[in-house]
Structures are given as C-alpha cells and as structure tokens.
C-alpha cells in the first residue's frame, strides 16, 4: 500500500509511484494511435464516414460516469470493511492479552504468557498469509515452533485452528485453570470477536464483485473510448488525440482503481498494508507483555508499504 505525506498541488500532478497510470499506459497509447488515425482519415473507416457527433457522447458520458461512481463506491465499501475488520482484530487481541494478564495473574506463568502472546500473534500472521495465498510456514515456525507449524501445514483455515488452540489452552485442565464461568465467558467473547473478524475477511476474499457487473462496465468504457475520436474529430480536429487520451485516462483509470480497491488484501499498491497491520498487532501484544518489541516496518520503496 502507498503511504505518503500530503503533497503540494504541483507535485501531485507528477506523482508516478502509487498511481494507476503505469498500469494503463498501453491502453492510453492505443487511444492515442486510434485518435490520430481518426484525424488522418477525417473520421472515415474503409472510406465511409462514421456519422457520429459530440452530442450523444455528452449524454452517454454522464451516464457512464455515474455508473463508474457506483462501481467505485462498491469497491471502496469492501476496502473499508476490510480495514475495520483488521482494526477490530487489533482491539480484540489487545483486550484478550490484557485480560489474561490482569485476571489470571496467578494461573499464567512467564511461559504461559509467552504461549498466549505467540498464539495470538500467529493467528494474525496466519490470516495475512491465507488472504494473500502465501506460505505461512516461516512465521508459524518463529512463533509456534517447528513441530506445531508442521501440524498446521495441512490445515486449510490456519487462523481458526490456531484460535481453537488458544481456546483449548485457556479452558483445558492441562492449560490455564479458570476461576469462574464469568472469566471463561469474558475470555471467550474476545476469541469469538477474533473469529468473527477472520470470517469477515474470508467473506470479502471469497466473494468478489459479480463478474458480469465488471464485464459490463469494462466493455462499456472501452466501447465509449474507441468511438469517441470519431465523434469529436469534426469539432476538435488535430486536438482530438489530446482530448480523447485525457478522457480515456479518466474513465479507464477509474475502472482500474475500482479493480484494485475491490481486492483489499492483495499486493496491489492501493490494497491494505497487511504487513504493517500484522506488525502493529504483534508490537502491541508484546508491549503489553513487557517483552521486547520488533522494529516498525520501513518502506520497501519511497513511501511504499505492503
């Protein structure tokens, strides 16, 4: 995810890293070539003049812009929900760790505190890797040990399996002896919240925006952009390529942004910074335990985090 300080209006005109411009350059080049051909042929195809004017493009362009706004709102709603779910995991993890330390001080020794903290952190890292479809082995070995990491290797839903370990440890006779049912209910509530957040993230990852909806918008945007030069060539003449490329940049970029934001857990520049979020949760839990905390994640490129 791109995280950068606020830029001046002038520098914003030339921002490259983090914009979708670099991903749509081929489409803009194609539009420039197509517009230039329309100027050279005076709007003719195979010698026949295409009877188009600017008026219908004005009306249809307004409708298309509204359509794009709805598409971007739907995509940003998924992004926002994903960020809220990860924020809830931060709160629930902190609360659960604090409750274990505060309400079970005599039952949990130093090794038990480390086990609870590492299990909590491991569930967060496991979720990050599950959402990104990457290998979680390295982080699980670091936090849970090689033996438990091997046992989890065949699990499909590793975060839930790890949270189940947490619940079993806090309730089993060989784990932490709970003093009352109220304490058990209090701790279980936080684990339930974590599992609910995991389920919410899984729902977003496994339920994309309907494909037919995306196809319709994609086809409409490109059809509009490809016909536009032939509707403007008589009025804008040699400036047709400039006008058409600018309009195409606006419409195609909006579609590209919607596609990126609609997948908030991907590795795209405008997706959520899951590496930063997982490290923040890890640092917070370790700080509550009084343990040494790792360094914050630094940008991998100027102003870029993953």
pLDDT digits (tens, 9 = 90+) for 111-156: 878 899 999 999 999 999 999 999 999 999 999 999 999 999 999 9
pLDDT digits (tens, 9 = 90+) for 37-68: 999 988 888 777 878 877 888 888 888 888 88
Interacting residues of 85 by C-beta distance below 8 A, sequence separation 6+: 197, 200, 201, 204
pLDDT digits (tens, 9 = 90+) for 239-263: 999 999 999 999 999 999 999 899 9
Q: What pLDDT does 57 receive?
A: 85
Domain that holds residue 62: 22-288
pTM of the model: 0.86
Interacting residues of 286 by C-beta distance below 8 A, sequence separation 6+: 117, 121, 292, 293, 294
29 assigned to some structural domain: yes
The structure tokens listed for 232 are 């403007």
214 assigned to some structural domain: yes
Q: Is residue 226 scored above 60 in pLDDT? A: yes
Residue 302 confidence class, pLDDT cut points 50, 70, 90: very low
Sign of CA dihedral 125, 131, 132, 135: positive
139 assigned to some structural domain: yes
Residue 299 confidence class, pLDDT cut points 50, 70, 90: low
Strand partners, 44: 49
| Number of domains comprising the chain | 1
Which residue, 258, 235, 252, is CA-closest to 30? 252
38 assigned to some structural domain: yes
74 assigned to some structural domain: yes
239 assigned to some structural domain: yes
Q: What pLDDT does 76 receive?
A: 94
114 assigned to some structural domain: yes
């Amino acid at each position: 995810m791109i995280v950068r300080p606020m830029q001046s209006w002038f520098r914003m005109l030339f921002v490259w890293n983090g914009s979708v411009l670099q991903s749509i350059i081929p489409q803009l080049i194609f539009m420039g070539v197509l517009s230039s051909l329309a100027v050279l042929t005076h709007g003719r195809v195979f010698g026949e003049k295409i009877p188009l004017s600017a008026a219908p493009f004005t009306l249809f362009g307004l409708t298309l812009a509204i359509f794009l706004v709805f598409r971007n709102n739907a995509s940003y709603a998924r992004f926002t929900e994903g960020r809220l779910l990860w924020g809830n995991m931060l709160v629930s993890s902190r609360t659960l760790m604090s409750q274990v330390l505060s309400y079970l001080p005599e039952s949990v020794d130093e090794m038990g505190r480390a086990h609870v903290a590492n299990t909590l952190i491991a569930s967060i890292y496991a979720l990050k890797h599950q959402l990104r479809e990457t290998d979680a082995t390295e982080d699980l070995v670091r936090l849970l040990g090689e033996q438990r990491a091997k046992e989890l290797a065949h699990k499909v839903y590793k975060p839930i399996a790890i949270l189940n370990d947490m619940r079993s440890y806090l309730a089993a006779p060989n784990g932490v002896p709970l003093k009352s049912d109220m304490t058990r209910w209090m701790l279980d509530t936080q684990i339930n919240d974590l599992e609910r957040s995991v389920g919410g993230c899984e729902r977003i990852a496994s339920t994309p925006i309907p494909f037919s909806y995306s196809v319709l918008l994609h086809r409409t945007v490109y059809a509009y952009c490809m016909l536009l030069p032939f509707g403007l060539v008589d009025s804008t003449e040699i400036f047709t390529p400039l006008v058409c490329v600018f309009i195409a940049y606006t419409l195609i970029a909006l579609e590209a942004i919607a596609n990126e934001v609609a997948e908030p857990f991907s590795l795209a520049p405008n997706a959520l910074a899951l590496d930063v979020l997982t490290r923040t949760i890890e640092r917070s839990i370790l700080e509550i335990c009084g343990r040494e905390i790792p360094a914050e994640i630094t940008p991998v490129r100027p102003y870029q985090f993953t």
